[in-house]
A and B are shown apart, each in its own frame.
Chain A
Amino acid sequence: MKVQYLGLEHINGPLVYLKTPENISYNEQVELILKSGERRIGNVITLNEDVTVIQVYEGSDGIDINGVKTELSGKELQIKLSQDCLGRVFNGIGRPIDGLGEIQSDLERDINGVAMNPIARKYPRNFIETGISAIDGLMTLIRGQKLPIFSGSGINHNDLTEQIIRQANIKDDSNFAIVFGLMGAEYETAEFFKKSFKENGVLSKVVTFQNLSNDPSIERILTPKVALTCAEYLAFDLDMQVLVILTDMTAYAESLREISTLKGEIPSRKGYPGYLYSDLASIYERAGILKDKKGSITQIPIITMPNDDISHPIPDLTGYITEGQIVLGRELYQKGITPPINILDSLSRLMKDGIGEEYTRKDHRSISDQIFSSYARVQDVRALAKVLGESDLSDTDKKYLAFGEAFEQRFLNQGKFESRNIIQTLDLALEVLRILPEEELDKI
């Protein structure tokens, strides 16, 4: 029987204040036992001589200031892990919610993880073919990469994510797993993905951590950490190729802001805490490959940009940490182009080493450079056409307009169900580029 402390000093949203007991340590996991016998998990976030502040992950609704008992666990928050995690559904803090009972295992891991030693890492080079021309041709996904999708509300980014999972050839590898973290997601989103997993027959390979929009928001700040702890176990203990999808990181950051404000911290940009960068990094940096391990963790976090603003702190800081980004554009979406990838804003930093003769085709780099530079020119010509009218443009500029149109309609727009291999993608790119006069193609 552990020591229990009766009563609380004060409750403020998801934070509860307790008179500082003996032997309590910072970041320690505690359990609150309500009168009804319900147990809720929290951890210590502020500690001083008089008062201890505990954040309660499942919210503080219904907690009675006098009757609640607090029990210290003596360790930081941990989750149980075993191979049986695969195919299961957990809530945002790693408790099973699919009615199949607790995970039975002796292995417990601290969810905060520890930083990978940079010299133990292996530089990711293996190209993942997604079957989507824009991604394969212009911003290739590499195994072990963290490549977020920046989207706006109302743009159907889930379709793109689902298409990547469906078409990516990682599926052919029997040793793959998907870890799926939902933070503040809509019920429909969760169901949409579940349906897709079922149809593709991969449900038994998916571990889901689900925090829906009606679940306590504070729970969300644990979800990515729990999900990644599980992913690290699968990748580096069980040698699996793990794809981690986190949706939506904006909801996560907002929860972080909520707690920070409640704690009375000094806010930085747009009210987000000053440590948002470090905090996001502690999540994103948990992707990668290690030299002496077979497994890998590839991350695709999804971010809805508030007001489609790429300079908003969340997408901005994310872009500084991740190895590129796939940006979806509202204009393309409204033109009916699927997937609506805005290639000029998008980038894959690991692409340069994962393409070329050994991996894809020798001319891959020059083709993609040419597309980027010509398409950037298309934007200038379009702006000019708005002022002068199309008929007054020079012949070269008219060809640029035709190229822009063909590129969007034929190359970008491929629909949800077409899968193109890399050779088809590159040939198509060349075909579209032929619209331009030869002297404009300075990179091929």
Chain B
Amino acid sequence: MIGNVFDGIERPLSKLQEYSGDFLKKGCNIDAIDLEKKWHFIPSVNLGEKISRNTIVGTVKESEFFDHKIMNPNHIEAEVIYIAPEGEYTAKDTIAKIRDNEKEYNITMVQKWPVRIQRPYKERLTVREPLITGQRVIDTMFPIAKGGTAMIPGGFGTGKTMLQHQMAKWSDADIIVYIGCGERGNEMTEVLEEFPKLIDPKTNRPLMERTILIANTSNMPVAARETSIYTGITIAEYYRDMGYHVAIMADSTSRWAEALREISGRLEEMPAEEGYPSYLPSRLSQVYGRAGITKSYNGNIGSVSIIGAVSPQGSDFSEPVTQNTKRFVHVFWGLDRELAYARHYPSVNWKISYSEYIDTLQDWYEKNVDEHFVDDRLEIVKLLQEENELQEIAKVVGQDVLSDMKKLVLETCKSIRLGFLQQSALSDIDTYVPLKKQYRMLKSILNLYTESAKLVEKGIPISKIKALGLFEAYIKLKFNVKNEEIFKFDEFDQNVLEKLKQLDEEYKDYM
């Protein structure tokens, strides 16, 4: 399945093209998996062994670096009475036989599962580590956990799709399921043309080899659009049971909700808010509820994270889909049109966004990044909050009347916004930033702020500090320091100290 493109009801689109040409004709029925192709099977259970649900009976290589584990689909305790030796088999061939009391079951490589029913697991665990996306505003400011849920609401043109593409490219999940639900055909084409060329930093293989695309563009049938989300989640759960971390990008859940509304309208059901059916909230909670980190029956730990884009009508966040989704997700990345106007991408508005995972993940950050990480992050949040208040004041009375200390806050926040929060998806250096470098960048600006604040306290005018050009230099850093050149931040910090010291000396005589 990996590297393939399906429509909303799991028909592979490349097969459909062979069958019906460049346009999708109606009424074709094609199997999701190529049943004729031979796979190399390596067994992992022995004759006479007792197995239970989802026990891994063997593996095949789905792509060069990816082991697809064949699991026992039957929910019974049974004894293996036949296991195929290592060799080439098609997906239809029986690779194992098991016996429960007197009944025998055949196991093939194919599993069928009803998409609307959640696949069972042994136990659900609490989230413990973040899904690293390489995007500063996400990883540092508003992180999502592996097995967590997030939503990206934003009007058109605010960069929802770009942000999802970025996460699909760089996040450290094992498998990405990208659901293009009622969106543009050309966006799917972009993924298809771009992903095979991009290299996954972890495995050095094309990104396409860990991606499953489900494409149900806006002009494809509405009923299949409604199903596409469930299809995607079920595929994700299947891989989760093998012990992989799967991230689902659903673009966009509003189109899915509209499909529900359209079907409901045609069924002449009584509408609730804005014509949406009254079961919209319960359906949404069912969908997001299927995310989580779990231990499956075979003991493997895997996770499904769901990141849903929401396209609110008229960019109005009070509409039903946004409001109801908000109740069921833990991370909210609100995209802002004003920021998009100013070409501040990703246009995640730090004033309205939040992540409920910060506290849960505190331990992880302290252990794996730096023990001061959470405190420093809080410092940035406070500064930005203060900037917000100061700007309100400046709007009424102008910036000139603010004290130098306040002006320094504004200057620092400008650097935070341009040099840290803003991240260019089109720059080779800036498109993906590992967490260590993110933290180092954060440290540098805080250092610049605290050191400058000392001078301002002494009465040295802010204009002199600004004239040193350190804040501009910081903004340019993100394009100049490669991911493996973290030491350059030390040079920068050193430079800051020296220049500020010089300035301090100059003023010593006047004080």
Chains A and B form a bound pair: yes
Known: A268-B274, A278-B218, A365-B426. A121 touches B395 (CB 8 A): no
Which residues of chain A are near B399, meaning CB under 8 Å?
394
Q: Is the CB of B275 within 8 A of A274?
A: yes
Is B117 part of the binding interface, using a Cβ–Cβ cutoff of 8 Å? no
Q: Is the CB of B22 within 8 A of A285?
A: no
The 8 A CB mask of A347-361 against B (1 = contact, 0 = none) is: 101101100000000
Binding site for A on B (CB under 8 A): 5, 13-14, 16-17, 20-26, 155-157, 180, 182, 184-186, 188-190, 192-193, 215, 217-220, 222, 255, 258-259, 261-262, 265, 268, 271, 274-275, 311, 313-316, 338, 341-344, 395-400, 418, 426, 469, 472, 475
Which residues of chain A are near B25, meaning CB under 8 Å?
114
Tell me the bound Cα distance from A268 to B21 in angstroms.
36
Q: Is the CB of A323 within 8 A of B262?
A: no
Q: Is the CB of A268 within 8 A of B222?
A: no
Which residues of chain A are near B338, meaning CB under 8 Å?
376
Is A1 part of the binding interface, using a Cβ–Cβ cutoff of 8 Å? no
Is A275 part of the binding interface, using a Cβ–Cβ cutoff of 8 Å? yes
Rounded to whole Å, the gap between the CB of B269 and the closest CB of chain A is 9
Rounded to whole Å, the gap between the CB of A442 and the closest CB of chain B is 6
Q: Is the CB of B311 within 8 A of A320?
A: yes
Tell me the bound Cα distance from A443 to B26 in angstroms.
49
Known: A319-B157, A321-B184. A120 touches B261 (CB 8 A): no
Known: A123-B193, A274-B262, A369-B343. A323 touches B186 (CB 8 A): yes
Q: Is the CB of B398 within 8 A of A285?
A: no
* A-B residue pairs in contact (CB < 8 Å), sample of 16: A115-B217, A115-B220, A116-B185, A120-B22, A274-B262, A277-B182, A278-B222, A278-B259, A281-B217, A316-B314, A323-B184, A323-B186, A372-B342, A377-B342, A394-B399, A442-B418
Q: Is the CB of A116 within 8 A of B271?
A: no
Q: Is the CB of B261 within 8 A of A274?
A: yes
Which residues of chain A are near B155, meaning CB under 8 Å?
319
Q: Is the CB of B24 within 8 A of A115?
A: yes
Pick from A162-170, A212-220, A287-295 the stretch touching chain B. A287-295
Interface set, chain A 278-312, CB cutoff 8 A to B:
278, 281-282, 284-286, 288, 290-293, 311-312
Tell me the bound Cα distance from A365 to B424 in angstroms.
12
Q: Is the CB of A384 within 8 A of B395?
A: yes
Q: Is the CB of A123 within 8 A of B190?
A: yes
Q: Which of A278, A317, A439 interacts with B262 by CB under 8 Å?
A: A278
Q: Which of B217, B262, B313, B396 interacts with A285 by CB under 8 Å?
A: B217
Q: Is the CB of A116 within 8 A of B22?
A: yes
Give 12 new A-B contacts, CB below 8 A, not counting A114-B26, A118-B217, A311-B314: A117-B22, A119-B5, A268-B275, A269-B275, A274-B275, A278-B182, A278-B222, A285-B185, A285-B219, A288-B185, A317-B313, A387-B396
Rounded to whole Å, the gap between the CB of A184 and the closest CB of chain B is 23
Tell me the bound Cα distance from A344 to B341 in angstroms.
5
Q: Is the CB of A119 within 8 A of B218?
A: no
Rounded to whole Å, the gap between the CB of A414 and the closest CB of chain B is 22
The 8 A CB mask of A112-132 against B (1 = contact, 0 = none) is: 011111111111100000000
Tell me the bound Cα distance from A394 to B25 in angstroms.
64
Q: Is the CB of A123 within 8 A of B189?
A: yes
Tell me the bound Cα distance from A266 to B274 in angstroms.
10
Rounded to whole Å, the gap between the CB of A337 and the closest CB of chain B is 19
Which residues of chain B are near A324, meaning CB under 8 Å?
157
Residue of A nearest to B254 (CB): A320
Residue of A nearest to B399 (CB): A394
Which residues of chain B are near A152, meaning CB under 8 Å?
none
Which residues of chain A are near B313, meaning CB under 8 Å?
269, 311, 313, 316-317
Tell me the bound Cα distance from A243 to B275 in angstroms.
36
> Which among A115, A144, A439 has the highest number of chain B CB atoms within 10 Å?
A115
Residue of B nearest to A142 (CB): B186
Rounded to whole Å, the gap between the CB of B184 and the closest CB of chain A is 7
Which residues of chain A are near B265, meaning CB under 8 Å?
265-266, 268, 273-275
Tell me the bound Cα distance from A350 to B190 in angstroms.
10
Which residues of chain A are near B316, meaning CB under 8 Å?
311
Residue of A nearest to B185 (CB): A118
Q: Which of B218, B261, B395 interacts with A281 by CB under 8 Å?
A: B218
Which residues of chain B are near A117, meaning CB under 8 Å?
13, 16-17, 20, 22-24
Tell me the bound Cα distance from A56 to B155 in angstroms.
37
Q: Is the CB of A439 within 8 A of B472?
A: yes
Which residues of chain B are near A3, meaning CB under 8 Å?
none
Is A236 part of the binding interface, using a Cβ–Cβ cutoff of 8 Å? yes
